[in-house]
Structure 1
Amino acid sequence: MIKKLIFAIGFIMAVSVSAQKISDKEAVDAVTEKLRLAMISGEKSDLESLILPELTYGHSGGHIDDAKEFVEKLASKKSDFVTIDITNQTVSIVGNTAIVRHHFYAATADAGKAPGDVTLDILLVWAKVKNDWKLLARQAVKSEKKK
């Protein structure tokens, strides 16, 4: 009887942990989509709601923005994404940290520049703060072609 009870408790705990990981993965997918839409809209409050003040945002050219620069560039349209398409996304959850990788294709209309397009590979690091996922770090590298 005790063995069955211990097995049942262990099984319930394993299912609970597995369900939590699935729930976190879905939440990270959703917040990543919110970030994509906020980067297109440039809505300051939406951008600020998704990031931590400690954000480090690495561009493919080597420049690194802090949280304030990240929001300002998008809100002012200095960095203007007309469209952003994301493919091949993977999400890994490690404790209260999520690692997201994806391919990023965007049409741009940055202030004072002719329309352009970018093809990047992206690494996002999300931190779980209470029940919300907040962007802590992002790094982009140039990608040769669509994958």
Structure 2
Amino acid sequence: MSDISSWWQVDANKADWLQGSGDLLAGDDLQTAIIISLFTDGLAKADDNIDESYRRGWWGDVNENYSIGSRLWLLNRQKLTVEVARKAEDYARESLKWLIDDGVVSYIEVGTQIIYPNRLNMIIRYHRPGDESDLRFFWVWEA
């Protein structure tokens, strides 16, 4: 059974469920898993220099060693620099690592591209047996 299909809407800069003929569409579970992994707020680590009472994270996380989501939210109010772009790549790789650990994909590559003055493109490439796909996610930074 397939999950409800999520899709990244580039123009709206958000993810949403796909609809077709009045029903929610099912399928493309891997893309849905990637969207959830990237855009669910992951638990901040103790050394992230953030207020201990505001570490976010998903309420169902069992422990810090196995949590859902990414720490991309920590970059929300940062100035768009090369260092921030590298952190975004690291946070994305960290949140998607479970796909490799669980054998869902054989590799994941994450790259970023700064589009001045206020946009960071994130390109995620993955490979699973019999398929090779590219997904592009756009993160719009505050000016």
Q: Fold conserved (TM > 0.5)?
A: no
Write 1 or 2 for the structure with the bigger share of helix: 1
* Structure with larger RCO (C-alpha < 8 A, sep 6+): 1
TM-score (norm 2): 0.32
Write 1 or 2 for the structure with the bigger share of strand: 1
TM-score (norm 1): 0.32
